[in-house]
Every structure is written in structure tokens, then in C-alpha cells.
Amino acid sequence: MSTHHVCGIHETESGLNRCHHEDKEPAEHPAYLTYGSPAHSAMKQVILGAKLRQKIPFIARYRHTGLVESFHSLSLVYTPKHVFFWPPMFASRKRMAVIDFNANHGLREELTEGDGRKKLEMVYSRAKGSMKMRRVVAAKTHPYVAGLLADMLERRRAGPVLGPRPLSDDDPRQISRYIHKVVRPTTQEQQEMRLEWEGHQRRRSENQ
């Protein structure tokens, strides 16, 4: 229907095929082509050509990952890769990243200059290897913090928060406390390792 839509034809005579956009056209709609005109014929060659048909499987499966990458970048703020977190702490921080992302994504207003133009800033693009312009948006807000603090205080008032807790069913420590499968040294082996470590530290201090 795309080759018919550009000519203002939005439904076939049989009624079996039609456009799925709204019936009302936008006010600033571009002019329609004349069916069979040179411009329309050239467009049909592109749309119905073999080159575009070969790309359709890729286009149909293509998904822009910018949104996922944006969330992943924010997630690393709460769970840096070089910091160790116990599973409950790791899960809590990931949940905070989700709350933060949902509270601000797509909701921050674009800032404007005094004359009403969009406010832009220069940033470096690693993909292009050069500087580019980027719109400036308002600072992040954290409307969820007050509610979280109120819930924390309520839980603290209801009873102790800290202390031993049973592991949840999906806690990986149910399988093993550590990722590695090394057998823990015996008490005697730990003593020998300690003596070896102390001797190494003593030799280092003597050589300084």
C-alpha cells in the first residue's frame, strides 16, 4: 500500500488492503504524487526492487538498543563492576536503578535559551571521533526518595531490620557461598598459610 498511499489512495477497490493510519490527514502533509508519474515510477522501482527486498529480513529483525544501553549505563552507577555485592544487596541496587530510570526517562524537559531556541552543548562522539551538538535537558529528579525513606522508617519502627535472615529460594548462595569450587583449607593449613604470609611481609619490610 505504500506505493498507493503516496498518491492519496488509501484503500484498494476490493477493500482487502488499506492503510492503517488515521483517516484525518495532518495539516502539514506533503503533496501527493500523481499515480504513474515519473516520480511515482521511480519510487516504485526503489520500493519493489530486489535490493530493498533483500534487506527486509534485516529491517524486520532490527531493534535499536539505545534504550537498553542507556539503562545499562545507569545500572552500572548503582552496581559498579569492580565492587563486590552480596546477592540481596546486588538485587536491591538493581531495583533502585530500575526505579531511577523509570522516574526520569523521557520525562526531563529540554532547556531553552533566552530567545526560545533549544539549548545545546558540545560533546565528544566516540563513534564519529569528533565533536557534536547535543540537547540539554533539565536535571534529574528523585520523587521516589521520600516514599522510600518513609517506608524504611516505618519498617524500622515495626521491628529490627538488621540481623540474620533465611536465604531466598533464588539466592545463588543456596548452591555455593562462593563462585569457585575450591575446598576450604583445614585449620592447620590456614596456620601454615598465615606463617608464610607473615614471613613474606617481614622480608618485604626488611628490604625497604
> What ranges do the domains of the chain cover?
2-61, 64-107, 108-160
Confidence band (pLDDT; 50, 70, 90) for 56? confident
Cell readout for 119 is 539549548
Phi and psi at residue 106, to the nearest 5°: 75, 5
The whole-number average pLDDT for the span 9-22 is 76
**Going by C-beta distance under 8 Å and a sequence separation of 6 or more, which residues neighbour residue 123?**
131, 132, 133, 134
Residue 57, pLDDT score: 82
CB-CB contact of 175 with 87 (8 Å): no
In whole angstroms, give the CA distance from residue 184 to residue 179. Answer: 13
Query: Whole-prediction pTM value?
Result: 0.54
DSSP state of 132: E
Confidence band (pLDDT; 50, 70, 90) for 97? very high
* Residue predicted with more confidence, 41 or 161: 41
Q: What is the dihedral of CA 37, 39, 41, 47, to 10 degrees?
A: -150
The whole-number average pLDDT for the span 110-135 is 86
Residue 1, pLDDT score: 65
Place of cell 524537559: 109
Confidence band (pLDDT; 50, 70, 90) for 98? very high
**Per-residue pLDDT tens for 141-185?**
888 999 999 998 888 888 777 777 788 888 888 887 777 777 788
pLDDT above 90 covers a percentage of the chain that reads 21
Residue 190, pLDDT score: 92
Residue 29, pLDDT score: 74
